[in-house]
Each structure stands twice: as C-alpha cells, then as structure tokens.
Amino acid sequence: MKNILIINSGSSSLKFQLIRMPSEEVMASGMVERIGLDNAKLHYKVGDNSITEELEVKDHAVALKAITDYLMNSEIGVIRNKDEIAAVGHRVVHGGNVFSKTIAINAEVKEKIRENFSLAPLHNPPNLKGIEVAEELFPSSRQVAVFDTAFHQTIPQKAAQYAIPTEFYEKRHIQLYGFHGTSHKYVSKKAIEELQKDNSKIISIHLGNGCSITAVKDGKSVDHSLGFGPVNGLIMGTRSGDIDQSVIFYLIDELGYTSQEVSDLLHKKSGMYGLTGYSDLRDIEEQAAKGNKQCQLAMDMNAYRIKKYIGAYAAVMNGVDALVFTAGIGENSSVIRSLVCRDMDFFGIKLDEEKNKIRDKKLRAIEAEGSKVKILVIPTNEELEIAQQSFELIS
C-alpha cells in the first residue's frame, strides 16, 4: 500500500486528497481557499468528520503546511509523519506539446511548465508554485506531474492544426491543445468498461463552469472542443464558447475595446452569465421554470451547441456507441441532459426521461429501451485518476 497526496493548486486555493493505493481509499480530503486574502479557510474531511477553520494564509507554502499539520494531527490525522506519503501527484493544466504522459518532476520538467505560463497564465503559475512548496515539505516523496492536456496529445494533426500560416504551428506551436483531459480520460475508461467493447466510439461531455466535449475513439482523444485556450467550443458559465473572430475585430476597431477588455469580456462576462445575468445553472433553471424567457433561451442555446458537436464528432468517428455526461452540470442537471438528447432519433439516441430524473452519485445508464446509443452519467474523479497515474509511475 502507498499513500498518494493529490495537489490541485489554483491562484488563491489549494485542493487536496490523500488516497491509499491501490485500494483507492480516500483517507482525507479538503481545501484551503482565499489564500493571500483575509479570512482564508481550511476545510478538512476524514470519513464523516468535517472541520472548517479560519486561518491567516499568506501563500501556498503556509496553506500546504497547514494541511500537513492536519494530516499528522494526533486526533484527526491519518498519518504519523511525512515519510508515509510515497508520492505527491500534481495537476498541471498546460503541458504544451512537450508532455504526452504523466512524468516524474525534475528541474527540466519545472522549466517546461514555466515556459508554458503564457499558454495558461491563470493556472500554470500556481501549479508550479504547488510543486515547489511540496518539494520543500515532502523531500522524501516522489513528485509527479499529471497534465490536463496530455490526454489530447493523440488528436491528429488534421484536427489540431489551425488553418493559418504553417509557421505559427511549426515555430510557435499554436494549435489545439485541449483541456479537462484528466476528467475525459477517467470517464471514458469507465464508459469502455461499461460497454465491454474495445473498439469503442465515445463522446464525453464535461459540463461545469468550464465545459468541453471530446471524441474518444478506442480509448484515445481524437478531437476536442477547447483549443489553444479554454474559451472556445461549448457555452460555459462565463465564457463565450465559439464566436466569429470578426466580432473581436469589431469590438476593438469600431467600439474601442482594448484586447484585454475583449479577453475579460469573453472569459468572465459572457456565456450563461452574459445571456442571463446568472452564471450558476441552478439559478437559470429556476428562473426558466418561473417563465423567464431569456433563461430558457440560454439553456436552449447551451443544449443546441452541444448537439452540434455531437453531430460533428459522430461524423468524425463514423458513429457513436455512448454519450457520457459528467462534471457538476453533466452529472446533476436532468434538464440539460433532456434538452441535449431531444430529437436525436437519427443517431439512435433515445433518453428515458424517468431514469434521467433519478439522482445518484454512481455510474448510471439513462437511455430508453431500443436506443442504439448508450447514454451514461458518470461522476468524474480527477483526483483518483491522478492517484492512479502517479501510483503506476512509482510502482
């Protein structure tokens, strides 16, 4: 048995899970939020016991030290000393075109992560900070990097390259990279197990505040809706998804927006929030049920965009065996699932509305009898996927 500490460092947060492998037992979990701000909070959970404490947390080093103290606490801790942690698995959002698999961290790996700061300015810097802090706190533990982009390295060049001068692809590595790869990999593996079919064609639909959809053929990503950055594709909580590039030029040239203002508009003020004033789908569903036409339109637009990608990816793979809904919205919104699967008879996609309404935290099939395509709701578990890959690397 080996204990794997999973670290997910954000700009002002640090999430963690301590997982015992290969039994996959979650020994402890939680997060520190509002790092560097007033009233930072540490949430710590062991079994059915949950603790929340306000702390002064000036940086990620203090946050991880506080987590470590809880893990080794004589009353609520789960380990006696740091040496009981065999490896620390780090989620790193952008690996560029360098990293196609999970890798042990060394100086060269850290430098490559740093070189990709410009590709993921909100994510890679805190990811690297988490690595550096963990190296100091856990000197005897293996440090492992698991990249969100790695799963999408199998996307063929005909899908990954943009139709701009080739030098931008060859010299500047401007291409589709994709995101949410750890989630898409985890749920697609579960779907393949459910199908009991090696030569599978799966469309994985990750719907949360950030959204993406992936065509997975024979267990490999072959196309994906997010690209060079995490703003295109599906309509998201505050991000626009696909938009005509001419709109950007119009905002800058005719309306006087700066490029930064356009970036803020597309990343933080668009999507469901821009359409309705709400970024949380639960609020939008509630308002739509009360007759708010704009909220209903936003949900219709959201589902319509997903349906377009399903059609495209079914064409790319010459068929589809299963749709997979995952992440917060995908797992919990029966309304969105119903809108997406409506009028898809041509593809053999038929939803059982009663099964769709059932709430459960386990994998479940919700297709109607006679549906040619399996419709699966699979709770994602990125932390477990990171633990599995880290364990495989150090074993």
Is 43 known to sit in a ligand binding site?
no
* Spatial distance between the Cα atoms of 31 and 29, rounded to a whole number of angstroms: 7
The reply to whether 280 sits in an annotated binding site is yes
10 labelled ligand-binding:
no
For the chain, the farthest-separated pair of C-alpha atoms sits apart, in whole angstroms, at 64
Residue 384 annotated in ligand binding:
no
What are the DSSP calls for 240-308, one per residue? Answer: --S--HHHHHHHHHTT---HHHHHHHHHHS-HHHHHHS--SHHHHHHHHHTT-HHHHHHHHHHHHHHHH
CB-CB contact of 18 with 8 (8 Å): no
Q: Of 115, 113, 63, 64, whose CA–CA distance to 93 is shortest?
A: 113
- N-terminal to C-terminal alpha carbon distance within the chain: 10
Ligand-binding site membership of 282 (annotated): yes
The three-state secondary structure class of 8 is strand
Residue 331 labelled as part of a binding site: yes
Catalytic residue among 38, 148, 242, 253: 148
Is position 30 annotated in a ligand binding site?
no
Bridge partners for 365 per DSSP: 376
Please tell me whether 206 is known to bind a ligand.
Answer: yes
Q: In whole angstroms, what is the distance from residue 124 CA to residue 9 CA?
A: 9
* Residue 328 annotated as binding site: yes
- For residue 15, say whether it is annotated as part of any ligand binding site: yes
Rounded CA-CA distance 53/67 in Å is 11
Q: Are 145 and 113 in contact (CB under 8 A)?
A: yes
Say whether 148 is catalytic. yes
208 annotated as belonging to a binding site for a ligand: yes
Among 102, 94, 139, 147, residue whose Cα is nearest residue 121: 94
Q: Residues near 168 by Cβ (< 8 Å), separated by ≥ 6?
A: 162, 174
Q: Is 209 annotated as a binding residue?
A: yes
82 in a known ligand binding site: no
Is 305 annotated to bind a ligand? Reply is no
E-only strand ranges, the chain: 2-9, 13-21, 25-33, 40-46, 49-55, 85-92, 103-104, 142-147, 201-207, 211-217, 220-224, 322-326, 364-365, 374-377
User: In the chain, how many H helices and how many E strands?
Assistant: 15, 14
Binding residues for ATP, by number, are 15, 206-210, 280-282, 328-332
Residues labelled catalytic = 148
Q: Which residues are annotated as a binding site for substrate?
A: 91
Tell me the binding residues.
8, 15, 91, 206-210, 280-282, 328-332, 382
Instruction: Summarize the annotated binding site for Mg(2+) as residue ranges.
Output: 8, 382
